[in-house]
Structure 1
Amino acid sequence: MTDPFTAPSRPNRRLRQRLDRLATGVIAASGIGVVVAVLAIGVYLTLAVLPLFDDAEVDVDVAPSAADGAMHAVWLADDGTRWLTRDGQLRDAGGEVATLTTGTTIAAVAESGDRQPLALGLSNGEVRLVPRDDQGRLRWAQASTMRLFEARGVAALTLRHAAQGWVLAGRDTRGDVAALWHTGEATRRIVVPETAEHIALGHAGRLAMTQGTQLTLWQLSSDGVGTALARTETQAPVTALSFLQGGRTLIVGDAQGGLRRWRLSPEATGWQVAETSYSALGDAAIRRLIALPRQRLWLALDDSGRLGLYQSLSGRRWQGQIPVKTLPTAVSTNAQGTQVMWLDATGTLQRLAIEAPHAAVSPATLWMPQTYEGHSDAQWRWAAAATGDEEPQYSLVPLAWGTLKAAAWAMVFAVPLALGAAVHSACYMSRRQRARLKPAIELMEALPGVVIGFVAGLFVAPFVERHLAGTLALFVCVPLGSVACGWLWRMLSRRWGLRLSPISAGVGLMVPLALLCWAALSLSPWLEAWWFGGDLRAWMHQQWGWDYAQRNALIVGMAMGLAIIPTLYSLAEEALSGVPRPLAEGSLALGATRAQTLWRVQLPAAAPGILSAVMIGAGRAVGETMIVLMVTGNTPLMSPSLFEGLRSLAANLAIELPEAAVGGTHYRLLLLGALLLFVFTFVVNTLAEMVRWRLKQRYRRYGGDA
């Protein structure tokens, strides 16, 4: 009899070897490519985030000034090519342009933005206002003159825009203070019955004045009335005063080099809280505070020539020395706040290039509570997309809190159901029933998150709002009812248990549970009227201070829990099914019941796999976007309440990234949130996979199939 096996020819064997090597190389390259792609994402996000924490830089460029013949200039254009002298000559690099005043000198200048006029304080007590066109260009030929003081000349001016007009305040050579409020229809003059050494005008007509160590806040109004709001004593005589962008934060410099911040109250009550101190440049007196138009930045200059760049929340970002230790006679900043030019008393023009695009970001502003404008206490807040004069709030804590809160409630909802189903199908069901049930549950994972979020937001959330008491009753009645039904089934005679198939028993269990749900929803209005005065939401607000939002953490917990149940179930069921059969059979052979075998043998053996399933489910919940986006209301709150909204890092990324300017602070902060999600999910999934690998090694030692 001939051997049916025929040895392959040498060419065929070589071809198969080549194909095997090719397949091995393709598979290895694909795996390496996936790892490289994941690492490349992490590297890209890291490189995009690192500029947030770069040090600020201020470069001083000293150049010969075109204003050599006009060292007494009092105003510079934002590009330094045009200046205004004290004798009223408007000049540029090509020569004299125009004469604005005759017989008087210009003693003070004030401006407040691209669309606001330029104010010139004259030595005869008048103020000349130069309007701007729609592009922000000054119209010198259309200048108008108004009377601010009757007898003495203007010594200092400050200007701030107001609703449908502007507010201007000035101090004369004796220290008397007066203001003009222009509303577009009329201009009213306001006399402040106090003298001052320094003045600064803030938001909504708030006027700060200092005399020695006394700091006073006045409220000016468009009807020509001034009211004193608050008075306080500073630690040292005040030598410089300036409001930052928005006019709600006042910076005070004193004779000992101290720098402090005061915030205005949103109501007409004066100062909000006690001042905040900053790191001093030295012990010399602060002589000049230059507020920059972006990011709540300012420059501080002291008598010894030390210069510092500060940010309202993050503090000092840079300190250096100016080459010429003389106070500037004229200062100008560009609209972006990246360049400052000043002309000193020697006729030297200094250009300061400020590189601080992300000065408002620091580890403290991201993770520590801050006292923001309009708030009286330190708190975590996220409002990075603030516009206009609003202060941006860059704390990531509310977003991290919302992410963990949503994931935690989703796990609370999903873990009992998924693990219960996994235990039942792996330890109590027959192989045939398990083969039917497991694919049906795993098929739930194919449901898109946007569909789950749509159903939860449009149907579940309004239903829970209408039946809040009944919904909460269900979370108590259904678990207790399930235990009661199981106990009753156990108490039935063994004959009934043998007659009914497991499927029939399961269907029979659903009937009393459905009746229990119906009873809980039907009786909830009576229970709400009896125990909570007819309104559960009002009772919670009165007793615990909890507000109720229709889209809240309860809804997102149910919706996102439904989405991660298939993942938890599949992994936990595999861990339980992979427990070697000899372990369970040996326990039963020794006389243990099935429940004892489950608790003492199977669950401890599968515990690493179950823990891995929970970790992977938590990683999935943390990274979920669409469900959280559609169900939570997207309010970045730090509330522990189950009935209030939240905002997660993933949802915030989806909402704000399309509107963020590429390369800006807001854009890079969003990528920082993406990096945090990446690191969290990467670490959690890696640990879960390590746990699963160790579980497989343990099963192999026991002779399992895993």
Structure 2
Amino acid sequence: MTDPFVSPQRANRRARQRLDRLASGAIAASGIGVVAAVLAIGVYLTLAVLPLFEDASVEVDAEPSPATSGASIVWLAEDGEYWLSANGRVFDAQGEVTTLTDEPRVTTATEASETLPLAVGLDNGEVSVVPRDARGQPRWSQATRWRLFASAPVAALHLQSTTHGWALAGRDADGQVAALWHDGETARRIALPDRAEHLALGREGHLVMAQGTRLTSWKLSPDGSVAPSARAETAAPITALAFLQGDRTLVVGDAEGGLRRWRQRPDDQGWQAAETPYAALGEAPIRRLLALPRQRLWLALDADGRLGLYQAMSGQRWQGVAPEASLPVTLSSDARGNRVRWLSETGRLYRLAVEAPHAAVSTATLWMPQTYEGYASDEWRWAAAASGDAEPKYSLVPLAWGTLKAAAWAMVFAVPLALGAAVHSACYMSTRQRARLKPAIELMEALPGVVIGFVAGLLVAPFVEQHLAGTLALFICVPLGSVACGWLWRRLPARWEARLPPVGVGVGLIVPLALLCWAALSVSPWLEAWWFGGDLRAWMQQTLGWDYAQRNALIVGMAMGLAVIPTLYSLAEEALSGVPRSLAEGSLALGATRAQTLWRVQLPAAAPGILAAVMIGAGRAVGETMIVLMATGNTPLMSPSLFEGLRSLAANLAIELPEAAVGGTHYRLLLLGALLLFVFTFVVNTLAEVVRWRLKRRYRRYGARA
């Protein structure tokens, strides 16, 4: 006879098995999904960062366009290209537009751009200046003439904008140099008392002249005066000059093929050579330099027809062969520096496409000190969001230093407190007390980082600034006071220890420590008056050279240490609790004291777990954002001082990512910082988990709890 209960039991068992398999599959799929998501983040960041390190390129149009016969310059505008012939006639793609001058003839012109007026030199010593309209199109009919030389033809011209007009400098075939300063209505002529073979004119009247190996800097003034600012000598004769974007960096090419960057002194008193050697194109003299208007790029051409693309910080980015071996009649670029026009002596117009969106980024610019504009020596600086013509600074070292500095000081505060609490609760507390204390400490991890940062930045930082001496005294009084209280407790009669419960001992310790804290803060003004002349911050500045910022590494160390303590405590307490009791009991049975057992048996056995706890806590501190953002000045400084601010990689992401242009150099550098954080935390957490796994496997041999 068939049992009526067997069939339902089998059905229930099959249903449970199906549910178990479904749950196992869901859990496995979730775990795989988490791993895939983490890997996807890493892959995305890697793909976003890789374009930073792509090589630059300069592509030359294989089929050049024929230019108008006798053209001497190419003018770029929004509506197309214009050619200016030697007889003063202007042409566009459809034919002749206008006549700039019938007589005299055109001898030279400034390198055309889309932002500056065009200055045309004539063979009678005059210059014709063509303004632009709001769309950048030339106003040929509004061209004005000005006398530069008495009768000698103009051989070279350079023009720059000023606050209310423009400044122009030129030379004739004999090397005589003269300048014009236009204030919006009239132009004053300025005669230079020196001759030159090559000129370079920067903004606001900075004129550099080269004659042989002599480099001379002059300062032009709107009132028509001129004053020398500096003189220097080079190793080889100078053959080419060019100001880079911002006009605070001068590139000098010489007769031996060398290129050197000269930078304006921090006090704006002349120029000095920067120790930035660039790879030479060859041994032939440098004949032409064209500064591109973005990223401090320039093109260099030597006498053998070699062409190179350079960046001020990262050096040579590309080298190739020029379209023609002969020097161009003119070189011109668009406003972005992506298109360059090369007009040859044969009247052929070549189009060069410059692809270098991230030319300023290299391993050296990211991790090595650089001599930036306005600085006297090599430094690590981060200022990627530089505005205007300010030189961007792409060094990640200050951000990495700030990240490690904040994490290190956080661990200095957190490790002693967290490990001390873990040792006390795991090795000395009763099970009942431990069951109450551990959840209370772990509950601290629920505190949002923004709340901790808010309290640290708006309450703790001003308090520490007002009681700096007392705060520093706390870090000495509290540890010494704890040791003194413990020593005094051991000196008391044994009956007192028997009468007080363990909780009473802990509560009793709080009272003297609170009194010590109150005393340290109360005597803070007297300490400053006796030892530091009444102002500890001023004494540190005058004696030690330390600046004090209200939001500094001390504040962020205390705040972030509080946030890291729960993680450290929980993991370290689990490691100590997992040490087999048989080891401690055996040590005590052999006559060791509890302190000897702790130092010689329990701590060494739990050392891998404690190390894993410290590593995970460090990873937590490295990735912290809001506390660092709110409790520091967010200044990317390379300073070891505890009293100065910092900026971490995570805080930098929060500050600058919303303003970064998607796909730009700044944007990709921020993602590079995110990738560094990702790799660091991934490696640290992986190593910590490996250490914990080995610890558990080691404990199983002693019968420990898994």
For residue 702 of structure 1, give the secondary structure of its aligned residue in structure 2.
Answer: coil
- Greater Cα shift, 428-437 or 204-213: 204-213
Residue in 2 aligned with 1:694?
694
Q: Is the 8 A contact 1:115 1:134 kept in 2?
A: no
For residue 63 of structure 1, give the secondary structure of its aligned residue in structure 2.
Answer: coil
Q: Is the 8 A contact 2:306 2:321 kept in 1?
A: yes
Q: Deviation at 1:10?
A: 3.0
In 1, distance between residues paired with 2:626 and 2:70? 63
In 2, distance between residues paired with 1:268 and 1:605? 64
Root-mean-square deviation (CA, aligned residues, Å) is 1.7
How has the CA–CA distance of structure 1 residues 473 and 666 changed in structure 2, closer, same or farther, with 3 Å as cutoff? same
Q: Kindly provide the amino acid, as one letter, of the partner of residue 222 in structure 2.
A: S
Q: Deviation at 1:204?
A: 3.2
How has the CA–CA distance of structure 1 residues 17 and 653 changed in structure 2, closer, same or farther, with 3 Å as cutoff? same
1:62-81 to structure 2, matched below 5 A, reads: 62-67=62-67, 69-77=68-76, 81=81
Residue in 2 aligned with 1:332?
332
In 1, distance between residues paired with 2:111 and 2:492? 89
Q: Deviation at 1:542?
A: 1.2
- 1:279-320 deviation line (CA, Å, top 9, x unaligned): 111111111111111111001111111110111111111111
Q: Deviation at 1:113?
A: 5.9
- 1:52-83 deviation line (CA, Å, top 9, x unaligned): 1111111110434342x423322332576321
1:106-505 to structure 2, matched below 5 A, reads: 106-110=106-110, 114-184=114-184, 186-274=186-274, 276-505=276-505
1:652 aligns with 2:638: no
Residue in 1 aligned with 2:591?
591
How has the CA–CA distance of structure 1 residues 704 and 6 changed in structure 2, closer, same or farther, with 3 Å as cutoff? farther
Q: Deviation at 1:217?
A: 1.1
Gaps of 5+ in 2: none
- Greater Cα shift, 379-388 or 131-140: 131-140
In 1, distance between residues paired with 2:349 and 2:701? 81
For residue 272 of structure 1, give the secondary structure of its aligned residue in structure 2.
Answer: strand
Q: Kindly provide the amino acid, as one letter, of the partner of residue 69 in structure 2.
A: A
In 1, distance between residues paired with 2:137 and 2:556? 53
Q: Is the 8 A contact 1:331 1:342 kept in 2?
A: yes
In 2, distance between residues paired with 1:549 and 1:158? 47
Q: Is the 8 A contact 2:111 2:331 kept in 1?
A: no
- 1:113-133 deviation line (CA, Å, top 9, x unaligned): 654322222222222222222
Q: Deviation at 1:674?
A: 0.3
Q: Is the 8 A contact 1:112 1:160 kept in 2?
A: no
Q: Is the 8 A contact 2:114 2:334 kept in 1?
A: no
In 1, distance between residues paired with 2:487 and 2:366? 53
In 1, distance between residues paired with 2:668 and 2:552? 28
Q: Is the 8 A contact 1:112 1:161 kept in 2?
A: no
For residue 116 of structure 1, give the secondary structure of its aligned residue in structure 2.
Answer: coil
Q: Kindly provide the amino acid, as one letter, of the partner of residue 479 in structure 1.
A: P
Q: Kindly provide the amino acid, as one letter, of the partner of residue 131 in structure 2.
A: P
Q: Kindly provide the amino acid, as one letter, of the partner of residue 73 in structure 1.
A: S
Q: Kindly provide the amino acid, as one letter, of the partner of residue 701 in structure 1.
A: R
In 1, distance between residues paired with 2:695 and 2:647? 36
- 1:207-251 deviation line (CA, Å, top 9, x unaligned): 111111211111112222211122222222211111111111111
Q: Deviation at 1:509?
A: 1.1
For residue 350 of structure 2, give the secondary structure of its aligned residue in structure 1.
Answer: strand
Q: Is the 8 A contact 2:117 2:131 kept in 1?
A: yes
Q: Kindly provide the amino acid, as one letter, of the partner of residue 311 in structure 1.
A: Q
Q: Deviation at 1:350?
A: 0.8
- Greater Cα shift, 165-174 or 93-102: 165-174
How has the CA–CA distance of structure 1 residues 115 and 77 changed in structure 2, closer, same or farther, with 3 Å as cutoff? closer
Residue in 1 aligned with 2:23?
23
Q: Kindly provide the amino acid, as one letter, of the partner of residue 194 in structure 1.
A: D
- Greater Cα shift, 55-64 or 489-498: 55-64
- 1:418-438 deviation line (CA, Å, top 9, x unaligned): 001111111111111111111
For residue 328 of structure 1, give the secondary structure of its aligned residue in structure 2.
Answer: coil
Q: Is the 8 A contact 2:216 2:230 kept in 1?
A: yes
- 1:461-506 deviation line (CA, Å, top 9, x unaligned): 0011111111000111011111111111111111111111122221
TM-score, scaled relative to structure 2: 0.97
Residue in 2 aligned with 1:680?
680
In 2, distance between residues paired with 1:106 and 1:630? 62
Q: Kindly provide the amino acid, as one letter, of the partner of residue 540 in structure 1.
A: M
Gaps of 5+ in 1: none
Residue in 2 aligned with 1:544?
544
In 2, distance between residues paired with 1:518 and 1:31? 51
Q: Is the 8 A contact 2:71 2:83 kept in 1?
A: no
Q: Is the 8 A contact 1:148 1:180 kept in 2?
A: yes
Q: Deviation at 1:694?
A: 0.5
Q: Is the 8 A contact 1:74 1:107 kept in 2?
A: no
How has the CA–CA distance of structure 1 residues 206 and 112 changed in structure 2, closer, same or farther, with 3 Å as cutoff? farther
Q: Is the 8 A contact 2:90 2:97 kept in 1?
A: yes
How has the CA–CA distance of structure 1 residues 185 and 82 changed in structure 2, closer, same or farther, with 3 Å as cutoff? closer
Residue in 2 aligned with 1:89?
89
TM-score, scaled relative to structure 1: 0.97
Q: Deviation at 1:277?
A: 2.5
How has the CA–CA distance of structure 1 residues 275 and 210 changed in structure 2, closer, same or farther, with 3 Å as cutoff? farther
Identity, % of aligned positions: 75
Q: Is the 8 A contact 1:478 1:513 kept in 2?
A: yes
How has the CA–CA distance of structure 1 residues 553 and 192 changed in structure 2, closer, same or farther, with 3 Å as cutoff? same
For residue 42 of structure 2, give the secondary structure of its aligned residue in structure 1.
Answer: helix
Q: Deviation at 1:184?
A: 3.1
In 1, distance between residues paired with 2:374 and 2:416? 44
1:56 aligns with 2:85: no
